[in-house]
Amino acid sequence: MTTKELSRKQVIIPITRFNTEIIINSAYQHIANINRCLKKIKSDILANFICKDNNRIIITSNQATFTLDLKIIKKYFKSIKKIVTTLS
CATH number at residue 34: 3.30.1360
Query: pLDDT at position 6, please?
Result: 52
The reported pLDDT for the residue numbered 88 is 47
| In-domain check, residue 84 | no
Distance, CA of 53 to CA of 63 (rounded, Å): 21
Query: Starting from the edge strand earliest in sequence, which strands make up the sheet with 10-14, in order?
Result: 2-4, 10-14, 56-61, 47-53
Q: Is residue 88 part of a domain?
A: no
Residue 35: partners with Cβ closer than 8 Å, 6 or more residues away: 46, 47
CA dist 35 → 16, 18, 53 (Å):
23, 24, 22
| pLDDT tens per residue, range 21-47 | 888 888 999 999 999 999 999 989 899
Cβ-contact 64, 20 below 8 angstroms: no
What domain range includes position 66?
2-79
- The total of structural domains in the chain comes to 1
Which residues is 51 bridged to in the sheet? 58
Global model pTM greater than 0.85: no
